[in-house]
Amino acid sequence: MSKAKAPVQKNEMVDVVFEDLTHEGAAVAKIDGYALFVPKGLPGERAKVKVVKVNKGYGFGRLIEITESSEHRATPPCPIFEQCGGCQLQHLDYEGQLKQKRKQVSNVLERIGKLEDVTVHETLGMSDPWRYRNKAQVPVAEREGGLVAGFYQERSHRIIDMESCLIQQEENDQVVQTVKAIANRYHIRAYDEQKHRGTLRHVVTRYGHKTGELMVVLVTKGKELPNKKNVINDIRQALPNVKSIVQNVNNKRTNVIFGEETTVLWGEEYIYDYIGEIKFAISARSFYQVNPEQTKVLYDKALEYAKLTGKETVIDAYCGIGTISLFLAQRARHVYGVEIVPEAIADAKRNAKLNHIENADFAVGEAEKVMPWWYSQGIRPDVIVVDPPRKGCDEALLETIIKMKPERVVYVSCNPATLARDLKVLEEGGYKTKEVQPVDMFPHTTHVENVAVLELRN
């Protein structure tokens, strides 16, 4: 379809009916088969839309007026929802969000994985889907009148100043506002990414949901932190629950948050939190799930799907700091975890010791290389668990799983599209996908986690 043949033109006003949502949360309307993507619309709604961009096979529109509203439309409670890019779905009620996420998973399993007879359960949601995030990473900038701290406006690098974020735990909001006030008090300049000047780049805060412990991380351009002693004292006075104040130095021109150098300015290197009965030590740069309540739901489901009786050998590929491994170790004979990040494996070993778990071993390396070596040493897994990053499993790892032939594979995924792709490979390698359970780890955003279980065909 050439630009000239597109049934709409830029700046044209059109009446549409929205059919679906994309995985990024935009509504989809079809005009003579031509897809128009419109943010903030909902399936089933009729609307007036202004066409803002026309591509070859699809275009983009801006919502001008809703002429017939969805029964699932909600009024976003967040005052900066329209500007901030943090949440995409506050205009859809929570029941609608859970249904939409299940539908998204079903669709990609059929379209990408060609899996048509797999049970996809209803999405497991939260009883209170607000204030769930235990970690905030907030960029800082300067405006007339002092520092601002908040999230980036959608598709831009402009910071929307915020007092409060409704998906953050309130303690994190308090830390950001406190640090902003203290930095203003001592005239600490914000980092300017254009000029590569200034001091304070990000405020990162971590909160132990069960323990109430707080960590404050100041990410700075250089080692120099003006009025360091006063800053530390003022943070401690304002935040009695603070257990750790840390400085991370990042002097590169980059939008990556952390640099390589981390120093504890005051207090402990770690704060602690629990998922279920398992205690975790969390450092400034540890990977730790941001929604501990739903992480427990996710891991309980992974444990259920693993069907452990106490006799099994389990391999946890992409084990991170050992979160799933240690959950599995409570019910398995032995768990082997592998992860490419050395600091994560050091954390995993520390967490095993912290919980007096002796039937878990951890190795640094690529899973697709370490696992065949384990196999050569006589280790025969009954269950393999994978929890890969968004890009999914490495092809060589999927081949390794197929060669090792465990009875069951439990796949924990944060990206339905790569999950579907990888399930297809495992199905072709002799496995049958039994069921998939979506879990809502990030309410009001388009993200959905899943746990899938596969069993070896006879």
d(CA 280, CA 448): 24
Which residue type sits at 315? I
3-state secondary structure of 334: strand
- Count of CB atoms within 10 A of residue 152's CB? 17
Burial 415-443 (b: 16+ CB within 10 A, else e): bbbbbbbbbbbbbebebbbeebbbbbbbb
Distances (CA, A) of 324 to 205, 321, 448: 24, 9, 18
Instruction: Say if residues 409 and 453 touch (Cβ distance below 8 Å).
Output: yes
Which residue type sits at 442? F
Instruction: Say if residues 105 and 449 touch (Cβ distance below 8 Å).
Output: no
Q: Cα dihedral sign for 229, 231, 236, 241?
A: negative
Which residue numbers are catalytic? 414
Q: What tokens appear for 331 in the block?
A: 């019910």
d(CA 48, CA 62): 9
Q: Which residues contact 82 (CB under 8 A, 6 or more apart)?
A: 76
